[in-house]
Structure 1
Amino acid sequence: MEKVIEIKNLSKIYKNGRGIMDINLDINRGDIFGFLGPNGAGKTTAMKIMTGLVRPDSGDVKILGHSVLEEFEQSMKKVGCIIETAESYSYLTAFENLKQFSRFYDNVDNTRIEEVLELIGLLKYKDEKPRKFSLGMKQRLGIAAAILSKPEVVILDEPLNGLDVEGMIAVRNIIKDLAEIEKTTFFISSHLIHDVELTCTSVGILYNGKMLSVETTKNILNDYASLENYFISEVERNGRI
């Protein structure tokens, strides 16, 4: 298996004592990895480090063999991401937003923009401005921007936030299809256990800044009735550290 994301001894502690401590992870090509933990566990901190928004106290992240700290441009070249909030230009239409983002890439034309809008379920709204969109529609537009350039790695921080049931199912299917057909590797954070169970091929539990366990979803569900039962078991086994 080809390692696409390598996280080694990653730590970042803030003045209030919160953060992440000594995280180690290897994610292989085509995996859909679920970073599962409660709000405040440190998921976004780790993902900000992965995308160069925050510098760690120690450790490193390699994406496609390139260090985020030492070779930032190379490490981010084939990465799409949403961290915290899906942002857009409120005065541009959905199509114009993606057109603006397309300027960063060599391989994105109008046909690709419409293809992505169709994929994410926004093509019929392409001439509307995001200020009129619901939270879920804004989230879909953000995901469209993240996958616009056909990245090899997609990092999504709480991607299902604000989506209705139909939207969740649609985005879940898009993620699964891209992973299976194009071997896109996904790193997804969430506190929504049920969605992680239905979407991800492997799961890492982060609790109070520490990794409690990493396991495939298949193995978890062979031993536990649900991912929720596994999560509770791991947290209790580790003494709610």
Structure 2
Amino acid sequence: MSLAIEMTGLTKVYPNGRGISDVNLTVEEGDIFGFLGPNGAGKTTAMKMMAGLVKPDRGDVRLFGASVTDDFVNAMKHVGCMIETAESYPYMTANDNLKLFATFYPDVDQKRIDECLEITGMLKYKHEKPRRFSLGMKQRLGIAAAILSRPRLLILDEPLNGLDVEGMLEMRRMIKQLSQHGTTFFISSHLIHDVELTCTRIGVVYGGKLVNVDDTQSILANYSSLENYFVSEVERHARI
């Protein structure tokens, strides 16, 4: 398998001591990779470096072989992102928001916009304005924007945030559906149960360090649940 993501010695430490240090990680194409850790563990920092929004102190991230630091345009060519919050223009309709994002991509037409609204369950709200949307609907619109260009890799920071149970089920179904069509996912979350049900591989981040990476199946073969595994990893590393 070829690599979608390769992090080597990735380090970014803020003056308050938060951030991540010396993360080495590879994610293969086709993986649904779950980046799991408590709030403040460094998940968003790592994802911002992957998306080129923050410069690392040391180390590098390669996406499909291209360095985010040295070859940003090629690295991001096949990548869709939703980091921290799904941003949209509140007084433009959902459709007009996506039309605006579509201007960045040569081959995204109205048919593709409708397709993305359909995939995310937002087609029926296409003429409504996001200022009236719930947090979950804003998240879905953010994902519709992230998949417009048919990316090979989707970087999603807490994509299940603010979704009701039905929304979570739909989001999980959508991730699995896109994954079957070859999309690789890198998803951060603190919602352990959803990561367990969605992700094929899992990395645990604690105190700015990547403490373990394993296949979901082999974790569940040794632990009764991902939550038990996570608690035991955190306890083990809290003692070190």
TM-score, normalised by the number of residues in structure 2: 0.98
Displacement of 1:240 in angstroms is 4.4
Separation (CA, whole Å) in 2 of partners of 1:240 and 1:137: 41
Mapping of residues 66-145 of structure 1, within 5 Å: 66-145=66-145
Please give the secondary structure, in 1, of the residue aligned with 2:238: coil
Q: How far did residue 126 of structure 1 move?
A: 0.4
1:31 aligns to what?
A: 31
RMSD: 0.8
Amino acid at match of 1:218: Q
* Partner of residue 147, structure 2: 147
Q: Which amino acid counterpart does residue 199 of structure 1 have in structure 2? A: T
Aligned AA for 2:74? Answer: Q
Report the AA paired with residue 37 of structure 1. G
| 1:118 counterpart SS class | helix
Contiguous gaps of at least 5 residues in structure 1: none
**Deviation string, structure 1 residues 154-213 (Cα, Å, up to 9, x no partner):** 000000000000001101111111111x21000000011001001100000000100110
Give the drift of 1:237.
2.1
Aligned in 2, Cα 1:240/1:83: closer, same or farther, shift over 3 Å? Answer: farther
Cα distance in 2 for partners of 1:112, 1:135 equals 24
Q: Which secondary structure state, in structure 2, belongs to the residue aligned with residue 238 of structure 1? A: helix
Letter aligned with residue 213 of structure 1: N
2:182 aligned partner = 183
AA at the equivalent of 1:42:
G
Q: Quick one: distance in 2 between partners of 1:136 and 1:238? A: 34
Residue 91 of structure 1 deviates from its aligned partner by 1.4
The residue that corresponds to 2:230 in the other structure is 231
Counterpart secondary structure, 1:232:
helix
C-alpha deviation, 1:40, in angstroms: 0.2
Separation in 1 of the partners of 2:237 and 2:80?
A: 34
Aligned equivalents of 2:134, 2:101: Cα separation in 1: 21
Partner of 2:165: 165
- The one-character-per-residue Cα deviations of 1:5-58 (angstroms, maximum 9, x if unpaired) are 000011111111111011011000110000000000000000001111111110
* Residue of structure 2 in register with 1:62 after alignment: 62
Residue aligned with 1:128, SS: coil
Residue 153 of structure 2 aligns to which amino acid in structure 1?
A: V
Give the residue type in structure 2 aligned to 1:224.
Answer: Y
Is it true that 1:51 corresponds to 2:51 in the alignment? yes
Letter in 2 for 1:167: G
The percentage of aligned residue pairs carrying the same residue is: 66
CA distance in 2, matches of 1:96, 1:19: 36
The number of residues matched between the two structures is: 240
State the AA in 1 paired with 2:76. M
Structure 2: state its 5+ residue gaps.
none
| Distance 1:44-1:240 versus aligned 2 partners, 3 A rule | farther
Q: Distance in 1 between matches of 2:98 and 2:53?
A: 22
Name the CA distance, whole Å, in 1 between partners of 2:116 and 2:193.
26
User: Segments of 4+ in structure 1 off by > 4 A?
Assistant: none
Separation (CA, whole Å) in 2 of partners of 1:218 and 1:228: 14
Counterpart CA distance in 1 for 2:206 and 2:238 is 11
